[in-house]
Structure formats: C-alpha cells, structure tokens
Amino acid sequence: MPTGSPDMHVRECTRGQTPPYLAICTKPTSEVFWRFRPMCILLLYLGWVMVFQIVRLAGATIGPNHYEMVSDANPKNAFWDIENGTDLLWPVPIRRLPSCSRMFVGKLVYSSTPKSNSRQMKKMLCELLLRKLGMNITKDVEDDLTTGKNWCLRSHGRAKMSYLKGWENPNNTKMFVWRDPVDRFVSMYGHVCISLKRCGKAGESIHTAAKAFYEYLQFGTVPKGAVTPEFFVHHISPTSWSCDIGAYPTEFVPIAYSKKPEVLIKRLRRVFRKVEAPRSWIEKALRRLKKTTTNKARLDPKKAGRYDRWMREVRSNPTTMSYVLATYYHDYRLWNKRMPTINKL
C-alpha cells in the first residue's frame, strides 16, 4: 500500500488516541495537524476571538447619534449659550436604545432605566412574581434577592425591544421611575466614572463628564479611554431613550423617585395593585426599600459626602449645568417637570 493512501491514515488515526475533531484523518496533512494540534487549536481560537472583537467594535462605532430618532432635534427656543453666542447647546433629541429591560407581573409592566432604583424595583417585582408562581421565598432566595442577585433575570439581562408590539395590552399599566436628571447625572458620574472607572478622560471631574456625556449622546464622540461604549450609552442615556418611554410618553405612568423609602413606598403602592397579588405580599416586597440598598457608597462614611459635593459643583457652574440640562432636556419636558435654573457666576 502506498505511504500516502487514505486507508493507511485512517488506520493510523484509530490505532492510538482519537485525534481532535478538526483532524482530517483521510488526508496525509492530518499528520501535521496531529503533531502540532495544540498550536493549531490555539490559532483557531485566537482567530475566532479576533473575528468576534472586530464585529463587536464595528457595532460599537455606530454611536448613539445614529439610533432611530423619535423627536425634533432642535425644539424652538431651547438652547444654552455657553460662550457668549459662539457656542450654542441644542437639546439632545429623543432616540431609541437598541435594547430594553422590562418586567411583567400581573397587569403591571415595569420599564427599567439605570440609576433610577432599577435594581431594587426588579428585586421587589421578582419576589412578587415568584410568589404568584407558587414558589416559597426560602432563605437562599431571600439572601439572593437581598444581596443583589435576581432569580427572575439570571438568564437574560436586556431583551430586544418590541416597540409596543406584542406586549402592548390596554389593560396593562406601564410604569417607570422618574428621577430628576441632575440628581441622576450625579449618581451616574459616581457609579460609571468613579466606581467602575468606565469614563476614561471624561471621568477626571464632574465638569468634564457633563461635557463628554453631551457630546457622546449628541454627536457620537466617544470619550478618550472610555470602556465599552455600549455599556457607557446604556447607563448615561436619557430616561426618554429607554423602552419607548419617550416615543409614547402618555402610555406610561411616571413614579417620582425619592431617597426617602417611606415616600417612594407610598407612591409605588398605587401601581403595585396592578400586580394582582394579595396586599400582604405587596407590603412585604415594598419593605425591601427600607432594609436594603444597592448603593454601598452611602454606607461608607468616607464616601457619603461626595454626592453632595458633586451636586454643589454642578449647580454652581453655569457651563456644567447647561451641558446637563441640554443632555436631559426632554426628560423634563415630556412629563412637565420643573427644570432647574442656571445660576450665573
């Protein structure tokens, strides 16, 4: 039999160890692969990683300024003059984020927006959903819900948006938590830029962050050194960009955020009736707002004063305040919320 015949190579492959699944045992070249299989597998793996990264980065280059627009970019008489007429800031238009996080419990549909008590809301609704499904809230479940895990969202974080198709039901109550944009911006800065260090050069101060957030959402200019732009835009985008809230503002019930648990509980109690669960279950779930917090910085005495200092820095700087208001203008306008005034220096 010739040395290079297929039969010989099949016999060689089955004589010893089974070769890797990528080996072509009926060809002489399989000997080379079999001899250098670790290097071949490593090169194949690195090739797949490179392709994945190229595709991911190509998607990341599509900045938020290319997302579908659902409002006029330049409302009349809405602009901020920060350089005596040479630099005007127009409001960031309403766009649609490509992904959305919602929870359905009974006839209540909750649309999540980052830095608006979203994690606590998901915990409370998850507890109610588990009870409605007949599950007992065991110590393990309770510990997970209290420490940050979520039994209802373990397999998926953000689902693709449906734009009111399929999930729309006139009998459902659609709600979200509305947080004052300046307050939310300061919280975002502390979380995304300081704690997670995702902002790059934009995180050097709260003033550089205000400008960078505006330029990224308005023009797609990625801050130098910012990590994973898709994560960045998900956290800093206006509330009106999430889950079609800005496209259909009258379809949603806004629940005003409050740092005082008893105030927020009172406001949420009204819409939680739509969960269609016993009142005792609802009250137990709402009590989570009193006994847990998702912001560890509030429990650290050394960090507790940072938020107030950042807020003072924003409110006392007309340019920084102008950037913040231009970025989140529609979050005030759509729900007739009073916009803060800018203190002139």
Q: Read off the pLDDT of residues 97-134 as tens digits, 9 standing for 90 and up.
A: 887 888 889 999 999 998 999 889 988 999 999 899 88
Distances (CA, A) of 135 to 141, 157, 168, 281: 10, 22, 27, 13
Which pLDDT score, from 0 to 100, does residue 271 have?
Answer: 95
Q: Give the pLDDT band of residue 315 (cuts 50, 70, 90).
A: very high
pLDDT grade, residue 211 (50/70/90)?
A: very high
Determine which of 12-16, 65-69, 138-142 has the lowest per-residue pLDDT on average.
12-16
Residue 111, φ and ψ in degrees, nearest 5 = -105, 125
pLDDT the model gives residue 81? 67
Residue 339 region by backbone torsions, left for phi larger than 0, else alpha for psi between -120 and 50, else beta: beta
- Reported as a pLDDT band with limits 50, 70 and 90, residue 171 is confident
pLDDT digits (tens, 9 = 90+) for 75-89: 655 666 666 555 778
Lowest mean pLDDT among 79-83, 92-96, 235-239, 317-321: 79-83
Q: What is the mean pLDDT of residues 28-55?
A: 61
| Per-residue pLDDT, 154 | 52
Q: Is pLDDT of 37 > 80? A: no
What is the per-residue pLDDT for 327?
A: 95
Are 9 and 26 in contact by the 8 Å Cβ rule? The answer is yes
Residue 67 pLDDT? 72
**pLDDT confidence band for 54 (50 / 70 / 90):** low
pLDDT attached to residue 142:
83
What's this model's pTM, rounded to 2 decimal places?
0.75
Beta carbons of 242 and 112 less than 8 angstroms apart: yes
Contact (CB, 8 A) for 94 and 247? yes
Q: Inform me whether the pLDDT recorded for 161 exceeds 70.
A: no
**CA gap 221, 214 in Å, rounded:** 9
Q: Are 294 and 119 in contact (CB under 8 A)?
A: yes
pLDDT for res 193 = 94
Given a cut of 60, whether residue 296 has pLDDT beyond it is no
Of 7-16, 77-86, 191-200, 266-275, the range with the lowest mean pLDDT is 7-16
Question: Does the pLDDT at position 51 exceed 90?
Answer: no
Task: Grade residue 278 by pLDDT with cuts at 50, 70 and 90.
Answer: very high
Query: What are 135-144's pLDDT values in tens digits?
Result: 888 888 888 7
Q: Is the pLDDT of residue 244 over 80?
A: yes
> Beta partners for 254?
176
Q: What is the pLDDT of residue 2?
A: 45
When pLDDT is cut at 50, 70 and 90, the band that residue 148 belongs to is low
The answer regarding whether domain 80-333 maps to CATH 3.10.450 reads no
Domain boundaries, the chain: 6-60, 80-333
Exposure class string for 49-61: b at 16+ Cβ within 10 A, else e: eeeeeeeeeeeee
The band of 18, judged by pLDDT with boundaries at 50, 70 and 90, is very low
Q: State the chain's mean pLDDT as an integer.
A: 78
Q: Please report which confidence band the pLDDT of residue 233 belongs to, taking 50, 70 and 90 as the band edges.
A: confident
- What b-and-e string marks burial along 79-118, b requiring 16 or more CB atoms within 10 Å of the CB? ebebeeeeeebebbbbbbbbebbbbebbebbbbbbbbbbb
**pLDDT score at 35:** 62
